[in-house]
Chain A
Amino acid sequence: MRSQLSTRTPGLALMAGFFCLGFAMEAAAIVGAPLTPVSVAGVARRTTRRVVVASAATTSAATTSAATASAASANAAAQSAQASAAQAQSASQASAAQAQAAQQQAQAAQAQAQAAQAAAARPAGAPAVGSVVSALPAGCVATPKDGVEYQNCAGVYYRAAFQGSNLVYVVQAP
């Protein structure tokens, strides 16, 4: 649904964030448009906000809206991949319930599946490493590593961070 919306209005209304101390705004801002300052001293520092930071994605001189569209389709792809993974998982869980002895086997299979997923190359069309999104795709799994929590969204790893006052997710190298 989300991705459909974004595809219909490419590059228009990204949920952009802009913080003001103790008060942030979730503004459907145009990528590339400066926001009006919220303090007189902030005028000089008025920044152009890009929630979908198209750094790596635009190296091939793609337009921002094209980058947005590709990010959206990547998200959609990630979602469908996640859905099929979930299906596979529930099937194996059902069989495990039928035969208790098979539980360990199922766990092993699950671990194997996870390992395979991790080992697999980043999914085709995955958002560029370093790009920033304001919301995670559905079905992400919290995956702590070295004291940092990553979100594994069908093989694409995200890490939460504050950009201004807004909670965003940065795509990580696998």
Chain B
Amino acid sequence: MRKKLHSTFTPLAAGAWLLLALGAPRPALAQADGIDAKATSLLKAATTYLGGQARFTTEARSTIEVVLKSGQKIQFDHVATFSVERPNKLRADRRGDLVDQTFYYDGKSLTLHNTADKVFATVAAPGTLEGMLDFARDRLDIVAPAGDFLYQNAYDVLMQDVTAAFVVGKSVVEGVRCDHLAFRNPGVDWQVWIQEGAQPLPRKLVITSTDVPAAPQFAVVMTKWSLAPTFGAGFFDFTAPKDARRIDFLPIGGGTSLR
């Protein structure tokens, strides 16, 4: 039965069907119109809580979908550890079979270092975490996964274009009980899972592109939260190894290379 069904579907038709299924209203959750104050207050509590943390680390495990020309969706997984010290320090360590990369922001400049390739690029950056994140995104096309949560004013950043919000219900993410919230923006839907109780940490974020065929998704699970980490001296500072070569960043939209 399953097989028969599949054989009558071309990949394209299947993609269209998927799009319909995702876009179709779910009868049980039909209240997606308007902004539910319960959803926004839960989000506000989470962003205020994390915004108030002077330093923290978390591991972000993410999955991104890419749609091929055929309509076929392919997923890529990544793991990164984020270390933050407000107001102006950030380090992201990305390790894996294929990547070995560290991002440094010391309050004055940001550096991307590919250890195995022995190359790094450094550029002057704004003096706050928020300014640096904007700069990295707008000028360098470097975007933190779920980076919205790193902003001290994360609530405003997240709510800027929201057209609908509601509470889906209770959920469990990797053994942690959460409130599951759903939001809509023009072009994207997003969901966030926030830890229940005294430590309302974001535990998961899913972003769905509703304006792209086959509606690819990005999902990130944030685990191993530590709100009292100890960072050694120079942890956020990049010191170039002797054999590393300095290269440039290619700015968005062309123009002079940044270094």
Give B138's nearest chain A residue, CB to CB.
A45
Asked whether B218 lies within 8 Å of A37 as measured between CB atoms, the reply is yes
Which A residues touch B114, using CB under 8 A? Answer: 167
Asked whether A25 lies within 8 Å of B94 as measured between CB atoms, the reply is no
Contact digits for B132-155, partner A, Cβ 8 Å, 1 yes 0 no: 000011101111111110010000
User: Which of A23, A35, A161 has the most chain B CB within a 10 Å cutoff?
Assistant: A23
Q: By the criterion of a CB under 8 Å from any partner CB, how many residues of chain A are at the interface? A: 41
Which B residues touch A21, using CB under 8 A? Answer: 80, 82, 90, 92, 103, 136, 142-145, 147
A54 CB–B CB distance under 8 Å: no
B161 → A minimal CB distance (Å): 8
Asked whether A39 lies within 8 Å of B143 as measured between CB atoms, the reply is yes
Within 8 A of B (CB), among A7-37: 12-13, 18-30, 33-37
Contact digits for A104-116, partner B, Cβ 8 Å, 1 yes 0 no: 0000000000000
A19 to B79, alpha carbons, bound, how many Å?
12
Interface-lining segment among B6-14, B32-40, B60-68: B60-68
A148 → B minimal CB distance (Å): 9
- The one of A29, A33, A41, A132 that contacts B148, using a Cβ cutoff of 8 Å: A41
Asked whether B143 lies within 8 Å of A19 as measured between CB atoms, the reply is yes
Which A residues touch B157, using CB under 8 A? Answer: 40-41
Q: A36-B65, A36-B209, A164-B140 are in contact. Are A22 and B103 (CB under 8 A)?
A: yes
Interface-lining segment among B222-230, B231-239, B246-254: B246-254
A153 CB–B CB distance under 8 Å: no
Asked whether A12 lies within 8 Å of B137 as measured between CB atoms, the reply is no
Give B188's nearest chain A residue, CB to CB.
A43
- The one of A27, A30, A41, A161 that contacts B247, using a Cβ cutoff of 8 Å: A161
A22 to B112, alpha carbons, bound, how many Å?
9
A72 to B185, alpha carbons, bound, how many Å?
40
Which A residues touch B88, using CB under 8 A? Answer: none
- The one of A28, A36, A167 that contacts B212, using a Cβ cutoff of 8 Å: A36
Asked whether A165 lies within 8 Å of B112 as measured between CB atoms, the reply is yes
Asked whether B250 lies within 8 Å of A28 as measured between CB atoms, the reply is no
A29 to B209, alpha carbons, bound, how many Å?
15
Give A27's nearest chain B residue, CB to CB.
B66
Which A residues touch B193, using CB under 8 A? Answer: none
B74 → A minimal CB distance (Å): 6
Give A169's nearest chain B residue, CB to CB.
B247
- The one of B69, B93, B137, B187 that contacts A22, using a Cβ cutoff of 8 Å: B93
Asked whether B94 lies within 8 Å of A23 as measured between CB atoms, the reply is yes
- The one of B119, B136, B188, B208 that contacts A160, using a Cβ cutoff of 8 Å: B119
Within 8 A of B (CB), among A124-174: 132, 149, 159-165, 167-168, 170
Asked whether B68 lies within 8 Å of A13 as measured between CB atoms, the reply is yes
Q: A38-B218, A41-B137, A167-B119 are in contact. Are A23 and B65 (CB under 8 A)?
A: no
Which B residues touch A38, using CB under 8 A? Answer: 62, 64, 143-147, 207, 218, 220
